[in-house]
A and B are shown apart, each in its own frame.
Chain A
Amino acid sequence: MATIQHDVPGINLDWLNVDTDQDMEIETGRKGLTLETINQLTYGVDDRDEARQRQWAPRGAAADPRSPSNSIQHLSKADVWTESAMLLYEEALQRQWSSARDIPWDTIEELPADLEQAMCTLCTFLTQVEFIAGDVPGRFLEQIHPEFFESQLFLGTQLMDEARHLDVFRKRTLINGGGMSGAGLGAVQLLGSDDFTEMTALLHLVGEGFVQTLFRMGELIAQNEAEKRMFRLSAQDESRHLAFGVTHLKYTVESEPWRTEELHHILDMQEALLTQSQQTSLTTNPLTGEALAILSGGGIEHLDEGYNMVMLMRKKQFVEYAHRLEVIGLDRTDRFAPEVRALVGEEN
């Protein structure tokens, strides 16, 4: 821009001439003005593997050279990135829901005591663990460099989703006379993740993946329309979190193949926990396993059917997990623990 003459001391208007891209031509699409639409020129993600500077400046803006550095931000794109973050962020905004108004709470009628207590046990577990899935990504927001801000924005939507999950399952325990069951070991071990990619492997791929399988089978355990809707909407949310994790891990494996063995090791350890511990899996935890069997069978008098359904869920959790590993490009056929291989079966 040409130099502007004026007579006001203290104004220099330097910012009018910073060398940032101008005159972008953007057209809104069918999905409105999305992050992908504006991902152009120097404002867009390019093929650089490293962020340019440590300072706080949005991608494409002119950084202030005096600006303080932030030493805990990952400069390596592969540490935090996935191409799908923009799409998933927009989808998250479109699919926000309200546990207060979007769940037909009036469809919950008095249930037999075993079904009510089983549902409340399951929901106590879920309300317990779901916001750990908010605390964990909350910590990692700081580590995402502004040049890769879409990953941060997506994780911000996950915090919101997990808040709603804590909230909706708590509401379910308190609306129909059941109340909460005792709390188990929970999921605080996830707070031990020290690395972004490790976090996505443990939280998104394994934790959310296994919970999502359960939520998608919610029709089988729900006793009324409110519970069906609760599980259906939560499953939608979990699908996004899972997609973020899977696509980030895929990006890591493709761009930094030397991390493959590290990821295998993380999953070796986690699978051992899943198959041996009573804490980490919904279907092996004694309280929730019992609750799932009662709910899916339709009562304590149908525990044989309930047991079959729990086994089906458990198998489905591992089969879907194995499919996700294929998408990521992690071939674990020879590394699965025997218990996992037995569940995954001939499909892998």
Chain B
Amino acid sequence: MEATNEMVTIYVMGKKYEVPGDLTIMKAMEYAGHQFRRGSGCRGGYCGACATLYRTKGSYKLEGALACQKIVEDGMYIAQIPFNPAEKITYNINELRPDANTILEYYPEVSRCLSCNTCTKACPQDIMVMDYVQTALRGDIAKTAELSFDCISCGLCAVRCPAEIVPYNVATLARRLNAKYIDGPSQHVLDRVKEVEEEIYDEDIDKLMKASKEELAELYNNREVDLSE
């Protein structure tokens, strides 16, 4: 739905507010007078702290969103989920093997997945959550890592899962196993670390450290930005 310049009605924890229609949920709640002590983080759609559930008037559908990204809609009923209770199983990544049953060993509840797709419907990042839980169940670690790449551990999938799985924890284990044992090290990172150790950048950094505020401003304003990347 597109943002509107008009005022819209939203309900925060049941209380009615009139807010500008082009604000995100987070800004709208602050406009209404709420101060965020939990449930707010990077404000950039990356940290997963502002997980929110909402319904709109006239629709029974329960939707999930990130408060810092989602624009308000008229008749929105909002509830924040600042914390999802979940145990992250302790493991030593150095002692694990990327075997077919490794994920099942640490998160056996994955076997309870009903393939109902509720997790996918709740995800604000458009991830195919059910698909990656299923690939985790059958030991395809690489695929699980690939499908869960955009996950920010906001917790909405875990809150709604009827089988009581915590998909983002499963995904984290898969990505760690994949990175360590399957994909291998990122060569460009290793190369850059070597360059730093060889003090290739020391001179340039020194110049910047000694530059005045005006010189820095000049450099910053005239910098070349490569938007193709």
| Co-assembled chains A and B | no
Interface, chain A (partner B; CB < 8 A)? none
Interface, chain B (partner A; CB < 8 A)? none
